[in-house]
Amino acid sequence: MSDMRYIITEYCHRDTKGVLAFSLDSKTNQMQSVNFTSYDQRNDHVTIGDIFVAKVLNVSKQLQAAFILYAPNQKGYLPIHADYKPVLTNRKYDGRILAGDELLVQLEKEAVRTKEPVFTMNLSLAGKYSVVSYANTYKGISKKCTKLEREQLRAAIPQALAFGVVIRTNAAALLQYSETAEAADCLQPVKEEILYLNQRMTALLQEGIHRTCFSRIWQSPPLYLTKLRDEGFTYQQVVTDHCALYDELKDFAALYMPEQSAAISLYQDTSYPLQKLYRVETHLSELLSRKVWLKSGAYLIIDKTEAMYVIDVNSGKNVTKKESAEYIYQINLEAANEIMRQMRLRNLAGMILIDFINMEEQRFIDALLQELRVLAKKDPIQTTIVDLTALGLVEITRRKTTKSLAEQLGES
């Protein structure tokens, strides 16, 4: 049984100071997730989920999108979805979006290099078990849940709900208690959360139409808090060594995850710092390194180019049975598991090409691709195993929503 811990600490990487958060399985001493929020980002930067009153600069019919200002001199890109009815604040909506319109938008993707941040008109509010949306009125269950789970969870959606709702994968964990209690009782936290988010969305819309242009009417909690809520783990300990972060954790848990409140503690041993106890520098150094060693003695090389990430698998120090097809397959299998873990921890996104050790037998190639597909389904970020290219490279795409760990730390 795993012993999951979530650690939040104030951290300085070179000249960048902020909040580092990571989940750790203390049984294996392996990180399961990690993120860094610089104080510049936390205080001045926009966060995914923030809602603004923005102004339309111009509309491109060819792109089916608008270019907007969400703050003075801050531009964004807004796809126009025919089925989404926008919330205009300076005129009545007549089926058109025009230059000069002021409307409510929500940040969907952060700015990347030369690309502007991407916004959406489908305003949404997320909780631990559900997401309530304004423009998309679909009511359903996460596709990652099984068919049986979806059938049971559908009962948690209240009747005559004004907005759309999607019940998240996290809610499926509540069904394990249905053997000892009524399913309806087990799903009560989901129903209560949906109703709360529904009321919050109604209040936001009423407030938003009366706010001035460039107002931020909703500020999403920082990444180190939303990750704690969304990862789906039950943490035995949630630890911080910073008093202000401790108070922030307590307030956030009381609202979104009261069952974890008792696990939150303030680390106060000044003789042995928290970061030293959990080997923070060692873990981060490994995650920023090009080379990743595997237990077998093989290793990975992870490189970033302008357009993609390239990962090379090498047999390394293990020189036994190098001609064995089974041996090569086992090395590639080990590499596949570590690559998917590194992608998640480093938050690699976009196109990723992997050069596995060459295998001649089709059955091993098929088995490797199948293992990658199984691992991809476990990733909370949409990850697709595209195929094996003509050059024998495995092509993967992973949806980009936030910056990579290296970018968060100011490394690239």
Q: Which residues pair with residue 356 across a beta bridge?
A: none
CA distance 248 to 50: 18
Fold category of 1-46+222-279 in CATH: Nucleotidyltransferase; domain 5 (3.30.420)
Q: What is the pLDDT of residue 244?
A: 96
Q: What is the pLDDT of residue 161?
A: 86
Q: What is the pLDDT of residue 182?
A: 58
Q: What is the pLDDT of residue 231?
A: 85
Q: Which residues pair with residue 218 across a beta bridge?
A: 51
Looking at the chain, the domain(s) classified CATH 3.40.630 span: 289-408
Fold category of 289-408 in CATH: Aminopeptidase (3.40.630)
Give me the helices (H) in 45-187, please.
147-153, 183-186
Looking at the chain, the domain(s) classified CATH 3.30.420.140 span: 1-46+222-279
Give percent of the chain with pLDDT exceeding 70: 95
Reading the block at residue 356, the tokens are 């596995």
Where the chain has pLDDT below 50, the residues are: 180
User: The tokens 């848990």 sit on which residue?
Assistant: 253
- The alpha carbons of the chain give a radius of gyration, in whole angstroms, of 23
CA distance 239 to 17: 19
Nearest to 230 by CA among 301, 275, 171: 171
Q: What is the pLDDT of residue 44?
A: 57
Give percent of the chain with pLDDT exceeding 90: 71
Q: What is the pLDDT of residue 47?
A: 87
Reading the block at residue 84, the tokens are 């989404």
Per the confidence metrics, is the pTM higher than 0.75? yes
CA dist list (Å): 401 to 49, 66, 122, 270, 363: 11, 20, 16, 37, 35
Q: What is the pLDDT of residue 1?
A: 55
Nearest to 220 by CA among 45, 51, 50, 43: 50
